[in-house]
Chain A
């Protein structure tokens, strides 16, 4: 089968699952991917400037423009909907044999119950599309971006610390960098201003006395908020050793998916994290349902605690399907849950659960050619 034939096969699998075909906007304001995902994605964005100087980007995937259109539709009232597509996406190549443009065939569901069954069904559907294209998965890498936050919450840390750790988990340097950052004392004049009856007036007086102008968009109130957060972190005395050990141990988890529920539960038990039970229960239920629908995944699927943390708008179950003859950075299929995306795109005016997955026919052509 050539590329177009694979597109047709995969498309038929997704359309059989129900859903409205969609081919949304090719061009997005660069603000949408950048405000949502940060500068890290810029390196892969095909960017240009329009006639008024506004920065625009070719769609880097289909999830973003489909979700953007869905957010607009939801303004009229909530209702669940499924979309399918076979459409071009555009990315600056990360490797010499990466194409600038390629077709993604996929499916996105919005507004349905976000439960283990829905995760497993979406995964099984994408897996079926890969197999229908004559490619047998060599390995499936999975992750769950809700597990780390659940562990953090269970550690019962001061809010400043837990917020910081949750954000750090998604960044390149990661949690270790945050854990290693020593707490530093604050300027005594500034500390005194925090305890004044009117902290803004007092801090304003410190600025005047030192002849420091207030430039930029952050207000005095925001600077005071930052100072209070730092003081709270100093008073909390950093991260307790047990919490530190729990997080570093979680970070290291890398095992067959079939062992993952037991491994994670054992970790939670060791560190006394009973309030992570709900998240771990949902995780175990999902694993069981995945094996029920895709028995072969018992052999091929792995779980890595850190997997998917840089997939910017995903916030739950995530997976990639790898095949022979391609690098681990070139999955033939991928997908996951992004329950916060619609809220992020609409400035929190509307919200809806979201989950989706895609296959890459261009890569499957290469796998088939190498005879795997």
Chain B
């Protein structure tokens, strides 16, 4: 892997905004094979460009199979086994913003903070003979945050999608999910705990700490980092 490898989100808003950012720093993206192709070139950079899902990009940066990539901080923090030292955010891009939050049913008037959730979890276990269930796709983030807040009385349930519906369908009682306006949570009868914001995430241009930057890749990396350091373009 001596050639520099950069990954860009393969679809949706995140892709469009990433393209706009690249153009703004003077290195527009050109997709090969039209809109449906999965490789591309970046003007003025001798680099291999891959179009991948945001999750694959976060994983690749952490493993070191990619040098640079644009992906969500939520995914980076969740997939990193050792936490923030597993990747290096070079620039937060100001788009793709969302909070990862702990939410419980609004009807739980007795639970406003994580410490209340701990007490509710202990009482629940006593009366139900099982632990309170927390649905999420952010397994590591949740485990770390709950430990930090001294909440141990829970079980994780991995959620593949529509996490906010888990309490009303009965598959879990609490959720950890991403939210922008909170409207979806509210529509599902949920509220965010007062100290329940785990992470304020946005899209980030990120460098791998495990990928090796040798010779040619080093030079191209310097060009790219130089380009966005010079640009003051604010999204």
List residues of chain A with CB under 8 Å of any chain B CB.
34-35, 38-40, 42-43, 163-164, 167-168, 170-174, 177-178, 181, 184, 186-187, 190, 203, 206-207, 210, 212-218, 222-223, 225-227, 229-230, 347
Determine whether the beta carbon of A213 is less than 8 Å from that of B107: yes
Determine whether the beta carbon of B150 is less than 8 Å from that of A215: no
CB neighbours (8 Å) of B188 from chain A are 215
Quick one: which of B111-126 are within 8 Å of A by CB? Answer: 111-113, 115-116, 118-120, 122-124
Residue of B147, B154, B156 most packed against chain A (CB within 10 A) = B147
Determine whether the beta carbon of B131 is less than 8 Å from that of A218: no
Known A-B contacts A40-B152, A177-B149, A222-B123; A35 and B130 likewise in contact (beta carbons under 8 Å): yes
Shortest A54–chain B CB gap in Å is 13
What separation, in Å, do the CA atoms of A239 and B42 have in the docked complex?
62
CB neighbours (8 Å) of B122 from chain A are 163, 167
28 A-B contact pairs sorted by A residue (CB < 8 Å): A35-B130, A35-B131, A38-B131, A38-B152, A164-B119, A171-B147, A171-B150, A173-B147, A173-B149, A177-B150, A181-B115, A186-B109, A187-B109, A190-B109, A214-B107, A216-B108, A216-B172, A217-B132, A217-B173, A218-B108, A222-B120, A225-B110, A226-B116, A226-B120, A227-B109, A227-B110, A230-B110, A230-B116
Q: Is B155 in the interface zone, CB < 8 Å from A?
A: yes
Which of A34, A163, A210, A226 contacts B111 (CB under 8 A)? A226
Closest B residue by C-beta to A231: B110
Residue of A181, A190, A218, A222 most packed against chain B (CB within 10 A) = A218
| Secondary structure of the B contact surface, majority rule | mixed
| Secondary structure of the A contact surface, majority rule | helix
What separation, in Å, do the CA atoms of A170 and B153 have in the docked complex?
11
What separation, in Å, do the CA atoms of A171 and B146 have in the docked complex?
10
Which of A177, A190, A215, A218 contacts B189 (CB under 8 A)? A215
> Lowest 10 A-B CB distances belong to which pairs?
A226-B110, A173-B150, A171-B150, A216-B173, A213-B189, A215-B167, A216-B167, A227-B110, A38-B152, A215-B168
Q: Which size class do B's interface residues fall under?
A: 35 or more
Determine whether the beta carbon of A223 is less than 8 Å from that of B110: yes
Known A-B contacts A167-B122, A226-B120; A40 and B111 likewise in contact (beta carbons under 8 Å): no
What separation, in Å, do the CA atoms of A216 and B115 have in the docked complex?
19
Known A-B contacts A34-B155, A172-B148, A213-B189; A178 and B115 likewise in contact (beta carbons under 8 Å): yes
Per-residue A-contact encoding for B157-179, CB less than 8 Å = 1, 0 else:
00000000001101011100000
What separation, in Å, do the CA atoms of A223 and B155 have in the docked complex?
20
| Given contact pairs A177-B115, A226-B120, A229-B110, a sample of 10 additional A-B residue pairs in the complex whose CB atoms are under 8 Å apart | A35-B131, A171-B118, A212-B107, A212-B189, A216-B170, A217-B124, A217-B133, A218-B105, A222-B124, A347-B129
CB neighbours (8 Å) of B36 from chain A are none
CB neighbours (8 Å) of B156 from chain A are 39, 42
Closest A residue by C-beta to B142: A39
Q: Is B234 in the interface zone, CB < 8 Å from A?
A: no
Determine whether the beta carbon of A35 is less than 8 Å from that of B189: no
CB neighbours (8 Å) of A207 from chain B are 107
Residue of A39, A43, A347 most packed against chain B (CB within 10 A) = A39
Closest B residue by C-beta to A55: B158
Shortest A240–chain B CB gap in Å is 19
What separation, in Å, do the CA atoms of A5 and B109 have in the docked complex?
61
Shortest A245–chain B CB gap in Å is 21
CB neighbours (8 Å) of B147 from chain A are 40, 171-173
Shortest B148–chain A CB gap in Å is 6
Residue of B110, B123, B188 most packed against chain A (CB within 10 A) = B110
Shortest A48–chain B CB gap in Å is 14
Which of A171, A225, A229, A347 contacts B151 (CB under 8 A)? A171
Residue of B148, B151, B172 most packed against chain A (CB within 10 A) = B151
Closest A residue by C-beta to B109: A190
Determine whether the beta carbon of B150 is less than 8 Å from that of A39: no
Closest A residue by C-beta to B188: A215
What separation, in Å, do the CA atoms of A190 and B131 have in the docked complex?
26
Determine whether the beta carbon of B105 is less than 8 Å from that of A215: yes
Known A-B contacts A184-B113, A187-B109; A38 and B153 likewise in contact (beta carbons under 8 Å): yes
Q: Is B212 in the interface zone, CB < 8 Å from A?
A: no
Determine whether the beta carbon of B107 is less than 8 Å from that of A42: no
CB neighbours (8 Å) of A163 from chain B are 122
Determine whether the beta carbon of A213 is less than 8 Å from that of B168: yes
What separation, in Å, do the CA atoms of A186 and B131 have in the docked complex?
26
CB neighbours (8 Å) of A230 from chain B are 110, 116, 119
Closest B residue by C-beta to A219: B127
Which of A168, A222, A225, A347 contacts B150 (CB under 8 A)? A168
Known A-B contacts A40-B152, A229-B119; A217 and B168 likewise in contact (beta carbons under 8 Å): no
Residue of A35, A178, A217 most packed against chain B (CB within 10 A) = A217
Residue of B119, B124, B133 most packed against chain A (CB within 10 A) = B119
What separation, in Å, do the CA atoms of A97 and B105 have in the docked complex?
44
Determine whether the beta carbon of B155 is less than 8 Å from that of A217: no
CB neighbours (8 Å) of B151 from chain A are 171
Q: Is B106 in the interface zone, CB < 8 Å from A?
A: yes
CB neighbours (8 Å) of B152 from chain A are 38-40, 167, 170-172
